[in-house]
Structure 1
Amino acid sequence: MRVLLTTYGSRGDVEPMVALALALRELGADVRVCAPPDFSGLLDEAHVPLTPVGRPIRALATGLLAGERPKTLPEITAELAAMAYEAVTAAGDCDAVVSAGVIGMQAGVRAAAEKRGVPYTGATFSTNFVPSPHHPPVPWPGQTFPDGETDNRVLWDLNGEHLQRLFGPPVNALRESWGLSPTGSVRDLVLGDHPLLASDPVLAPWEPTPDLDVTQTGAWTRPDERPLPHGLEEFLAAGAPPVYVGFGSMPLQDAERTARAAFDSVRAHGRRIVLGRGWAALAPDGTSDDCHVVDEVNQQDLFRRVAAVVHHGGAGTTTTAARAGAPQVIVPQVADQPYWGGRVAGLGIGAAHEGPVPTTDSLSAALDTALSPETRARAAAASGTVRTDGARTAARLVTAWDPTAAG
């Protein structure tokens, strides 16, 4: 069986696809991944073939493509959809397509799959991206909900209408140019008829709804066996467990202020700091020996050895910290990150910061909660409940589409 996996986003979008690719390969499938060119090294290390799609995501996210005029959302959508369509067409024959990531990318992938007559399924890594009467949608840019409206069905209807206004015109123009019928709901188009929900059922439960045939598989993760850098090992061994502070691929609204608040609040609690540089290029203040800076590192190992994790609330980082039993402080920046903050706070395994730019006082208050013995005990207990078989579960579902597939 030949399976094509597609995504466009940061490492948090690509890493789950690598996990699924490896699980599919264990079942005998031939797998290729369409992803941004930034991640050629990641795919090479996993020995998974890559078909690059689009331009480097880091350059786009951090504004490094100098000299270009800002593009409108419809323009970006049309560009990504066209690139995805071409990439899927160029990727060779396949028997199934699984797509996650931004809507423009998924719309192009869905169109290419339709054109080729290949089964398509959409995937998402956060429960609150899937329509349900049990939770509200994530507000999109430019979208406001009526004051006092609390009916989730109404809110999801408004969400669908808003997404159609944003993405419908460019997507439908391309679909018609490819000889396909226009869609009345881009959101439903990219989700597909049987979407896969790659989130953990304890951290982010899905309550079944008759409106959509969703399968929650658990998060798509793979064991990380990389050793920690020697310098980091020495730092960890030199004192009590530090606090990890890192915001991954987020281009922070005020990186300098955020870093200052982190340094001051962590030190006020008598803790050292492991600082994840990330795409915001966070840097230590001076030459103090209580801070160690890391780039890409084995978080599965590191998070088991820290007192707490301060991060942006990406689905992957939240799940990794929960599996490690590390208390969390989530400082959400965009999209689903407030949802993950709410889940962590609701489960009592950490704290959710209000707003994307912390102060020393606000982050100190959150750390008071995260570093308490009660929170650490709950985080340790919760770690054993997080599923580790999500990618294998999804792989079995995908291969079941082919009656001749292994497994």
Structure 2
Amino acid sequence: MRVLLTTWGSRGDVEPLAALAVALRELGAEARVCAPPDKEFATLLERVGVPLVPLGPTVHSVVANPNPPTAQDAFQLAPALVTARFDTLTAAAEGCHALLATGLMPAGARDVAEKLGIRYVLACFHLLGLPSRHFPPGRRPGTPSPQEETDNRVLWEQDAQRVNALYGEALNSHRAAIGLPPVDNVRDHVLTGQPWLAADPTLCPSQGRTDLDVVQTGAWILPDDRPLPDELEAFLDTGTPPVYVGFGSMAAYAPKDIARVAIEASRAQGRRVLLARGWAGLAPIDDADDCFVVGEVNQQALFRRVAAVVHHGGAGTTTTAARAGAPQVVVPQIADQPYWAARVAELGIGVAHEGSAPTVESLSAALTTALTPETQARARAVAGTIRADGATVAAKLLLDAASQEFRS
């Protein structure tokens, strides 16, 4: 059995596919991944022996600029990604029995699968983009909804119109070129009526939250047995557990001066600091020995040895910290990050920072709560509920679905 997995997004979109690919391989299937050609992603996939088929531009070239991408950028990127999917996935999916897509609105993936006559699955890592009568849609480039509109059903209809404006013309043009009829609702076409949710049920309960028939598999966690670097081990061993601070791929979105704020706030709590450089390029503010900078490391091992994790609220970081039993301070910036911040607070395993630009005082206050024995105990208790078998669950489901499609 051969399966194609595809995404266009940050590491939080690529690493779960690597986990799923490994799980598929362990079940005897062959999996390949179509993803952005960022060096970081290529290295990640090479480490686990999964082939990477480059798709579209690098994510770093789009997001790692002084200013966040604009609406104009989005209207240029969307059709370009549609074209890239038709071109790249058509060749990559040849001989495959299923195609699973995730990441930034993967318009074009279902259409390639339809043309090839193979099973298509849409997977997501949160509920933000799934239509629901219970909450409004997230922000999306295009004509905004009127401020006075409060009916969630109307707001989701307007969200579908924005998706059509971004992707519709390019998608239907490519469909026509391969003999497929047009679609009138790109978002619902991409999502299908039964998307898969690759998120832990404790952190992201789905029952009754969306109007779609969601299949929740659990988070797709890639096992990581890499040792920590010797220099980092030495830093961890020479004092009390530090506060970890990282903002992942939030290059243009990371709070201004966040390294200084985080270092001073941690010092105010009597804590050492571990800065994750990331795409935001976090760096020390002085040469004091209570601060250490790391690049890409085994977070699964590292988070078990820190006092708290201060981060942006990506699905992957939130899940890794929760599974490690580390108290969290989430400083959300965009997209699904406010949701994860809220869940961390609701579960009592950390703090949702109010506002996206912390001060020394506000971050220090958040750390005061996160570092209490009560929060620490709650974080350890919840850690025991986070499942690690989501990728295996999904792999079995995918192979079963592909087999049924093949037999029919």
TM-score (norm 1): 0.93
**Structure 1 residue matching 2:223: 3-state secondary structure:** coil
- Secondary structure of 1:240's aligned partner: coil
Give, in whole Å, the separation in 2 of the partners of 1:305 and 1:89: 45
Q: In 2, distance between residues paired with 1:325 and 1:50?
A: 32
- Alpha-carbon distance in structure 1 between the residues aligned to 2:210 and 2:59: 36
Using the alignment, how far apart are the partners of 2:129 and 2:387 within structure 1? 20
Letter in 2 for 1:338: P
Aligned-partner residue type, residue 73 of structure 1: A
Could you list the per-position Cα deviations for residues 134-153 of structure 1 after superposition, in whole angstroms to 9, with x for gaps in the alignment? 44322224564554655543
Counterparts of 2:86 and 2:55 in 1: how far apart (Å)? 9
CA distance in 2, matches of 1:143, 1:278: 33
Q: How does 1:37-186 map to 2 (within 5 A)?
A: 37-38=37-38, 39-63=41-65, 72-91=73-92, 92-103=94-105, 106-142=106-142, 144-147=144-147, 151-186=151-186
Aligned-partner SS, 1:48 = coil
Contact 2:263–2:273 (CA<8 Å) still a contact in 1? Answer: yes
Aligned position for 2:367: 367
Taking structure 1 as reference, are residues 315 and 144 closer, same or farther at Cα in structure 2, changes over 3 Å only? same
Separation in 2, partners of 1:192, 1:24? 23
- Per-residue deviation at 1:72? 3.7
Give the 5 Å matches for 1:5-404.
5-38=5-38, 39-63=41-65, 72-91=73-92, 92-103=94-105, 106-142=106-142, 144-147=144-147, 151-208=151-208, 211-253=211-253, 256-403=256-403
1:3 maps onto 2:19 in alignment = no
Q: Does the residue aligned with 1:401 lie in a helix, a strand or coil? A: helix
Distance verdict in 2 for CA 1:254–1:37, change over 3 Å: closer
Kindly state the Cα deviation for residue 180 of structure 1 after the two structures are TM-superposed. Answer: 2.1
Q: Distance in 1 between matches of 2:147 and 2:210?
A: 28
Residue 128 of structure 2 aligns to a residue whose secondary structure is helix
Query: Aligned residues: percent identity?
Result: 56
Contact 2:255-2:358 within 8 A present in 1 as well: no
Q: State the shift of 1:158 in Å.
A: 3.0
1:311 Cα deviation after fit: 0.3
Amino acid at match of 2:63: A
Q: Deviations over 1:329-354 (max 9, x none)?
A: 11111110011111111111111112
Per-residue CA deviations over 1:198-233 (Å, capped at 9, x if unaligned) read 011110100147942210111100211000010110
Distance 1:185 1:232 in 2: 50
Aligned-partner Cα distance in 2 for 1:306–1:143: 44
The more displaced of 43-52 and 308-317 is: 43-52
Which amino acid is 1:347 matched to?
L
Aligned length: 401
Residue 316 to residue 75, structure 1, CA distance change in 2 (3 Å):
same
User: In the superposition, relative to structure 1, how do residues 340 and 255 fare at CA in structure 2: closer, same or farther (>3 Å)?
Assistant: closer
Structure-2 separation of matches of 1:344 and 1:215: 23
SS in 2 for 1:245: strand
**Aligned counterparts of 1:331 and 1:170: Cα–Cα separation in 2:** 36
Q: What is the distance in 2 between the residues matched to 1:263 and 1:160? A: 43
Offset at residue 167 of structure 1 (A): 2.8
Separation in 1, partners of 2:71, 2:374? 48
Unmatched segments (≥5 aa) in structure 1: none
Cα deviation for residue 130 of structure 1 reads 1.8
Asked whether the 8 Å contact 2:327–2:371 carries over to 1, the reply is yes
Deviations 1:72-103 (A, max 9, x none): 42321111111111111121321000000111
Is the 1:331–1:353 Cα contact (8 Å) retained in structure 2? yes
CA-to-aligned-CA distance 1:24-60 (integer Å, 9 cap, x gap): 1111111111011122221111111111111222122
What TM-score, normalized by structure 2, do the two folds share?
Answer: 0.92
Q: 1:349 to 1:157 in 2, by over 3 A?
A: same
Paired residue secondary structure (1:24): helix
